[in-house]
Amino acid sequence: MVDNRDEAKAFLSSRRARVTPEQAGLQHYSRNRRVPGLRRNEVADLAGISVEYYAQLERGNLSGVSGSVLDALARALRLDEAERAHLADLARAAGPAPRARRKPSTQQVRPGVARILELMTEVPAFVNNARLDVLAANPLAQALYAPFFADPARPANHARFAFLDPRARDFWLDWEQVANDTVAVLRTEAGRDPYDRAMTDLIGELSTRSDEFRVRWAAHDVRLHRTGLKHFHHPVVGDLHLNFETMELCADPGLTLTALSAEAGSSHDDALRVLASWVATHQPTDALAEPRADRRRR
């Protein structure tokens, strides 16, 4: 279980340190500051609460905090949508009443969802749980993510691939951004459900085995990863820049479906069609999934 008090303390202090007096609109402040961020008394003034109460909150005691205070803190600390939601999740988890837990994010994909994936023959699509395990993927997604699925361990996991598999830095054209997003998504989910033992185990494993993960985890960044661009280097069709849309499966709490596509008539759309044709005659995790450096040595 993620320690709620420690998480709340680190999150609030890290957000406070990020906001400068100029950004907060403070006109009069001492220029002789040891740190560039806001002081506790400045956050308290901006939020309209006492310094003593804010200090209590930043010590990690969010139990019983009202929605209006959370909103005031979010404004004072200039939190974005994901950060506001994360703060609310932390406060909810700290409450005295027993928390209704979501279904564990290890569910099986329902036959109806699996059938939808099967019918999506022209776009790569897959289902994730909250820990970024891939529970199901259609053949085109398996081909697109061939290096990711090359490890026979199941379920395949986006975070383990990004930080522990040498193929990842070749596969992702923007590995740094992917790494940042991956950690931020896990941090968001850990705050949403701190009772997920498998999530805690995953975070512990990655923190132990990857310095890159550990540094990013300590930043306490959170993110909603709903739509955007993904940038691939695929060993068969080359560089691909694809739009993605991630949708919650409302009947299956904790599960999301992600579909990728290219602009109609673009070279990337053509490349997807080539890949779809390739899928018909090859196994997605053929030798193409080897790191590019290994292939060059042969």
Average pLDDT, the chain: 88
Query: Model's pTM, two decimal places?
Result: 0.86
30 or 90, which is more confident?
A: 90
What is the total residue count of the chain?
Answer: 298
In a domain, 106, yes or no: no
Same domain, 186 and 281: yes
Same domain, 65 and 144: no
Using CA atoms, how far apart are residues 128 and 245, in angstroms rounded to an integer? 13
Same domain, 278 and 157: yes
Q: What is the pLDDT of residue 137?
A: 96
Same domain, 26 and 153: no
78: left (phi over 0), alpha (psi -120 to 50) or beta: left
Q: Is residue 292's pLDDT more than 50?
A: no
* CATH number for position 153: 3.30.450.180
Q: Which pLDDT band, with edges at 50, 70 and 90, does 192 fall under?
A: confident
Task: Out of 94, 128, 145, pick the residue that ends a domain.
Answer: 94
Query: Residue 289 gets which letter from DSSP?
Result: G
| C-beta separation of 105 from 83 below 8 A | no
Q: Is residue 40's pLDDT more than 70?
A: yes
| C-beta separation of 75 from 43 below 8 A | no
Same domain, 67 and 116: no
Same domain, 73 and 127: no
The angle formed by the CA atoms of residues 177, 74 and 16, to the nearest 5 degrees, is 70
Helix, strand and coil percent figures for the chain, each rounded to 5: 50, 10, 40
Number of domains the chain is built from: 2
Letter for the amino acid at 152? P
Same domain, 265 and 151: yes
115 burial via Cβ count (<10 Å: 0-12, 13-18, 19+)? exposed
Same domain, 157 and 252: yes
* CATH number for position 30: 1.10.260.40
Q: What percent of the chain has pLDDT over 70?
A: 88
In a domain, 288, yes or no: yes
In a domain, 58, yes or no: yes
3-state secondary structure 255-282: CEEEEEECCCCCHHHHHHHHHHHHHCCC
Q: What is the pLDDT of residue 194?
A: 84
- Give the distance from CA 20 to its chain's centroid: 26
The angle formed by the CA atoms of residues 220, 211 and 2, to the nearest 5 degrees, is 40
Same domain, 181 and 231: yes
SS3 (DSSP) at 3: coil
Q: Is residue 83's pLDDT more than 90?
A: yes
In a domain, 104, yes or no: no
In a domain, 266, yes or no: yes
Q: Which domain holds residue 79?
A: 4-94
| C-beta separation of 113 from 127 below 8 A | yes
Q: What percent of the chain has pLDDT over 90?
A: 71
In a domain, 101, yes or no: no
114 burial via Cβ count (<10 Å: 0-12, 13-18, 19+)? middle
Task: Out of 94, 121, 139, pick the residue that ends a domain.
Answer: 94
Q: Which pLDDT band, with edges at 50, 70 and 90, does 284 fall under?
A: low
